[in-house]
């Protein structure tokens, strides 16, 4: 019996080749199978230090019960929060089981699409970074300023301040909830006392222009004459009293007071040299409406000019004014406000001064309009406060937090008129009204604070790290390379 012939070199090469092909095919199939399984069956976990991408149980419950899809579009080309916002929104999409549709638009790459969004949703040119929520035929635009609170930046280096709180989840969930509920907030404007009217679009002193912007923000506006109604309607989400020139009757003052006592939301705008009858109500809530007119002496071209356009540029850290920090808020014909000096009034501690002028302004108490000098002890010394808010805080509810009484007083109305309305004044009023109507209080979602950590390295540890990085590691690679070269020579 002859011995079996060993396989030829050709057959060995063929066998090895087929083995290699089979191994590669199996490896590719295994990788594809693992990737498919990982794509279909996986768990998400938030490893970020501040847990920015983690959603509360309330948000998850709202997302899981969405009756129809919600479309979310972002335009955050220059936002320093872009990564946090987009990461959080991806979690919204994941938790919604396909009910949340996302689109990220980069204005630097797709300018045409960004302009289409601005036109479709009437986005102001100053709002460069926004998040747009759309549900059925309703939409809501959330500006970047609403998403976080920042510490003051460096005015010399133009460096922004560090983030104090990230409120993305609270704001986004509130926006979705307001759209799904389908109920637009209703804001009444008081009439019957010479107030500026929303229906007046033709005269310089009307508020018709403001009404257009409020309706674009999905708000319902309506006039309210208390002499007819006697009370503020139950469907009022807020009441605006814009510059009454005739004093309200005692019954009308009582109606406003009763509305405030019932956790109502009121914005009172009162011009100089007028008496609304609501001054005692404001004092009860810790706000003193002073009988003066804001003015200043400005030097221009060597001449001294009397200026009665008060300019506020010192703002509190507050949601109502966060969007206008760095801009001048101009108010013609304004009066100043102050805290009530009464230790027994506990409401004083709940008042925030929103906007203040520089020290160049003073409150002129003389009715003589030609008077152009500050009198110590008679006039009100600057800086002057032009806007204040009282926040009654949270009221316990059935598993939620409800916003209590909120009362704002502004010492001017002219800045909202058809003639004087500009982007800063509009943003201020809309921010104030938005704060009045915010729903994140009802949701009870707390903001997230960034978690900062540092690494302390001693001088010895620092020198050790430098030695390892610059000498030891490269030297080890060099020795290894020389060893390989010598072995190959042998």
What pLDDT does residue 367 have? 78
Q: Are residues 266 and 391 both part of a single domain?
A: yes
Whole-number Å distance between alpha carbons of 65 and 94:
14
Phi-psi group of 277: left, alpha or beta (phi > 0 → left; psi -120 to 50 → alpha; rest → beta): left
Report if residue 7 sits inside a domain: no
Whole-number Å distance between alpha carbons of 131 and 128:
10
Q: Are residues 169 and 304 both part of a single domain?
A: no
Q: Are residues 124 and 251 both part of a single domain?
A: no
Residue range(s) defining the domain that contains residue 409: 184-443
What pLDDT does residue 465 have? 84
Rounded to 5 degrees, what angle do the CA atoms 230, 431, 67 make? 85
Q: Are residues 301 and 359 both part of a single domain?
A: yes
Last residue of a domain, one of 180, 197, 218: 180
Q: Are residues 128 and 245 both part of a single domain?
A: no
Q: Are residues 164 and 282 both part of a single domain?
A: no
> What are the CA-CA distances from residue 235 to residues 186, 187, 396, 437 (Å)?
7, 9, 21, 13
Report if residue 396 sits inside a domain: yes
Report if residue 485 sits inside a domain: no
What pLDDT does residue 3 have? 61
Domain count across the chain = 2
What pLDDT does residue 340 have? 95
CATH (domain of 99): 3.40.30.10
What pLDDT does residue 188 have? 96
Report if residue 312 sits inside a domain: yes
Report if residue 206 sits inside a domain: yes
What pLDDT does residue 395 have? 53
Q: Are residues 157 and 217 both part of a single domain?
A: no
Q: Are residues 194 and 293 both part of a single domain?
A: yes
Q: Are residues 302 and 331 both part of a single domain?
A: yes
Q: Are residues 246 and 337 both part of a single domain?
A: yes
CATH (domain of 324): 3.40.50.880
Q: Are residues 210 and 61 both part of a single domain?
A: no
What pLDDT does residue 45 have? 62
What pLDDT does residue 399 have? 42
Report if residue 149 sits inside a domain: yes
What pLDDT does residue 50 have? 57
Q: Is 93 exposed, middle or buried (0-12, 13-18, 19+ CB in 10 A)?
A: middle
What pLDDT does residue 460 have? 82
Q: Convert 211-245 to b/e letters by CB count within 10 Å (16 or more is b).
A: bebbeebebebeebebeeeeebeeebbbbbbbbbe
What pLDDT does residue 403 have? 67
Last residue of a domain, one of 401, 418, 443: 443
Q: Are residues 378 and 348 both part of a single domain?
A: yes
Last residue of a domain, one of 132, 147, 180: 180
Report if residue 379 sits inside a domain: yes
Report if residue 220 sits inside a domain: yes
pLDDT in tens, the chain (490 residues): 556 666 666 777 777 778 878 888 888 999 888 888 877 766 666 656 556 677 877 788 889 888 999 999 999 988 888 988 999 999 999 989 889 999 999 988 888 898 898 888 888 777 789 999 999 888 888 888 888 877 777 767 767 777 777 888 888 888 888 788 777 789 999 999 999 999 888 899 999 999 988 887 778 899 999 988 899 999 999 999 999 999 999 999 999 999 999 999 999 999 999 999 999 999 999 999 999 999 999 887 778 888 999 999 999 998 888 878 889 999 999 999 999 999 899 999 999 999 999 999 999 998 776 777 888 989 999 999 999 999 987 654 444 445 689 999 999 999 999 999 988 898 899 889 888 887 544 445 656 666 655 566 677 888 888 888 888 888 888 888 888 777 766 6
């Amino acid at each position: 019996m002859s011995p079996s012939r060993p396989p030829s070199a050709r057959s060995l090469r063929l066998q090895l080749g087929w083995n290699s092909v089979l191994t590669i095919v199996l490896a590719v199939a295994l990788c594809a199978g693992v990737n498919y399984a990982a794509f279909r069956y996986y768990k998400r976990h938030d490893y970020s230090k501040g847990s920015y991408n983690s959603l509360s149980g309330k948000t998850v419950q709202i997302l899981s019960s969405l009756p129809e899809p919600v479309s979310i579009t972002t335009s955050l080309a220059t936002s320093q929060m872009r990564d946090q916002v987009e990461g959080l929104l991806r979690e919204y999409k994941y938790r919604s089981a396909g009910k949340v549709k996302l689109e990220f638009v980069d204005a630097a790459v797709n300018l045409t699409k960004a302009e289409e969004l601005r036109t479709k949703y009437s986005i102001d040119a100053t709002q460069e970074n926004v998040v747009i929520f759309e549900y059925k035929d309703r939409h809501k635009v959330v500006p970047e300023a609403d998403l976080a609170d920042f510490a003051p930046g460096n005015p010399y280096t133009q460096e922004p301040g560090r983030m104090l709180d990230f409120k993305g989840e609270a704001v986004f969930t509130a926006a979705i909830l307001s759209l799904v509920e389908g109920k637009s907030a209703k804001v009444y404007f008081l009439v019957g006392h010479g107030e500026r009217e929303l229906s007046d679009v033709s005269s310089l002193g009307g508020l018709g222009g403001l009404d257009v912007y409020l309706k674009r923000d999905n708000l319902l506006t309506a006039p309210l004459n208390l002499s007819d109604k006697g009370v503020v309607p139950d469907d009022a989400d807020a009441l605006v009293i814009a510059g009454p020139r005739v004093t309200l009757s005692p019954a009308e003052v009582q109606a406003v007071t009763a509305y405030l006592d019932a956790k109502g939301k009121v914005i009172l705008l009162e011009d100089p040299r007028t008496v609304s009858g609501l001054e005692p109500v404001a004092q009860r809530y810790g706000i003193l409406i002073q009988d003066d007119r804001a003015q200043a002496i400005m030097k221009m071209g060597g001449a001294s000019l009397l200026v009665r356009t008060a300019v506020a540029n010192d703002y509190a850290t507050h949601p109502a004014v966060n969007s206008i920090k760095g801009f001048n808020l101009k108010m013609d014909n304004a009066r100043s406000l102050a805290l009530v000096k009464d230790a027994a009034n506990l409401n004083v501690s709940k008042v925030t001064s929103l906007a203040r002028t520089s020290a160049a302004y003073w409150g002129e108490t003389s009715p003589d309009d030609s008077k152009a000098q500050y009198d110590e002890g008679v006039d009100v010394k600057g800086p002057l406060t032009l806007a204040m808010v009282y926040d009654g805080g949270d009221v316990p509810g059935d598993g939620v937090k409800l916003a209590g009484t909120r009362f704002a007083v502004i010492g001017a109305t002219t800045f909202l008129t058809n003639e004087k309305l500009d982007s800063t004044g509009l943003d201020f009023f809309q921010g104030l009204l938005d704060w009045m109507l915010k729903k994140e209080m009802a949701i009870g979602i707390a903001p997230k604070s960034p978690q900062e950590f540092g690494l302390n390295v001693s001088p010895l540890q620092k020198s050790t790290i430098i030695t390892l990085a610059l000498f030891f590691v490269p030297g080890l690679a060099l020795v290894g390379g020389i060893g390989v070269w010598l072995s190959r020579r042998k």
